[in-house]
């Protein structure tokens, strides 16, 4: 089975400040991988490199076996960026329908098909009938599900999420992660940046621990028993989690 995301010795720096150093990581179809690490460890940067928003200083990135520079099938990748709810209604008073429709910009289609896709995406995230509401009228948890619908409406094969539940209450977080678990069981590959691995504990299959370099990548069951991880946590890094 070939990886859907492959990073090979990827390095990146903001001006002269190193952020990623020779990171090699492979994500395979059906994975549900939690990407964890302290603030400034390069997690968000790594996702931005994968979706082409940043260019690595060195190394190679492949999506579905294609070099990132030649990849054009962006509908196969869904992306929920960090703190996206903070941008709600700052520029335009968007409706739920208009927000989800933004996920189809790379996949033009006739209006009836677009409306059906949007309705299906909203049904998937548990917000049927919400398309006419203003985004600002929704709770934080509901807004996050709208942005998840925007990422899903193009029917991607891989979903990337960058701390998607920041500022959302505990109950809404649980529902959100349960939904991700169900999507993964249906076959969606997921890579999620999180500080709170306990919230995805019963769903996640793999953990990748990043601190500029890749400290650990493996099965969730191996995570807390790995000697490098024990040393990592003893250094006082802030990551919430538990293991069974």
Question: With 80 as the cut, is the pLDDT of residue 210 above it?
Answer: yes
Q: Convert the pLDDT of each residue in 61-73 to its tens digit.
A: 999 999 999 999 9
Give residue 87's pLDDT band: very low, low, confident or very high (50, 70, 90). Answer: low
Q: Is 187 left (phi over 0), alpha (psi -120 to 50) or beta?
A: left
Minimal CA–CA distance to 34: which of 186, 163, 166?
Answer: 163
Mean pLDDT of the chain: 87
What is the pLDDT, as a whole number, of residue 92?
A: 66
> Domains in the chain, please, with CATH?
5-234 (3.40.50.300)
> Is 89 a residue whose pLDDT tops 60?
no
Q: Which of 24-33, 165-174, 195-204, 215-224 has the highest mean pLDDT?
A: 24-33
Ramachandran angles phi, psi of 219, nearest 5°: -65, 145
Percent of the chain with pLDDT over 70: 87
128 phi/psi in degrees, rounded to 5: -65, 140
The pLDDT score that the predictor gives to residue 230 is 53
232 has pLDDT over 60:
no
- Report pLDDT for 186: 95
Closest CA to 148 of 80, 98, 102: 80
Q: CA 218, CA 205: separation in Å to the nearest integer?
A: 9
pLDDT in tens, 116-172: 999 999 999 999 989 999 988 888 888 889 999 999 999 999 999 999 887 778 888
Name the pLDDT band for 225 (thresholds 50, 70, 90).
Answer: low
Q: Work out the average pLDDT over 102-114.
A: 87
Q: Can you give the pLDDT at residue 223?
A: 72
Q: Are 5 and 177 in contact (CB under 8 A)?
A: no
Alpha carbon distance 214, 119 (integer Å): 39
């Amino acid at each position: 089975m070939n990886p859907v995301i492959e990073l090979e010795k990827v390095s990146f720096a903001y001006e002269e400040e190193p952020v990623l150093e020779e990171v090699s990581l492979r994500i395979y179809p059906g994975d549900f991988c939690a990407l964890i690490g302290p603030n400034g460890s390069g997690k968000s940067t790594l996702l931005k490199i994968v979706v082409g928003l940043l260019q690595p200083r060195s190394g190679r990135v492949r999506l579905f076996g294609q070099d990132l520079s030649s990849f054009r099938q962006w509908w196969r990748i869904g992306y929920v960026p960090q703190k996206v709810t903070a941008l709600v209604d700052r520029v335009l008073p968007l409706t739920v329908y208009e927000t989800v429709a933004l996920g189809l910009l790379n996949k033009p289609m006739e209006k009836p098909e677009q409306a059906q896709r949007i309705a299906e995406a909203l049904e998937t995230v548990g917000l049927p009938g919400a398309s006419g509401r203003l985004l600002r009228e929704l709770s934080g948890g509901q807004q996050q599900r709208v942005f998840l619908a925007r990422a899903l409406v193009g029917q991607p094969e891989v979903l990337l999420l960058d701390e998607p539940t920041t500022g959302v209450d505990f109950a809404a977080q649980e529902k959100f992660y349960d939904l991700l678990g169900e999507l993964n069981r249906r076959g969606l590959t997921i890579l999620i940046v999180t500080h709170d691995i306990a919230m995805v504990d019963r769903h996640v299959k793999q953990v990748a621990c990043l601190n500029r370099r890749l400290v650990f990548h493996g099965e969730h069951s191996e995570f807390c028993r790995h000697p490098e991880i024990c040393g990592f946590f003893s250094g006082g890094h802030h990551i919430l989690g538990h293991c069974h």
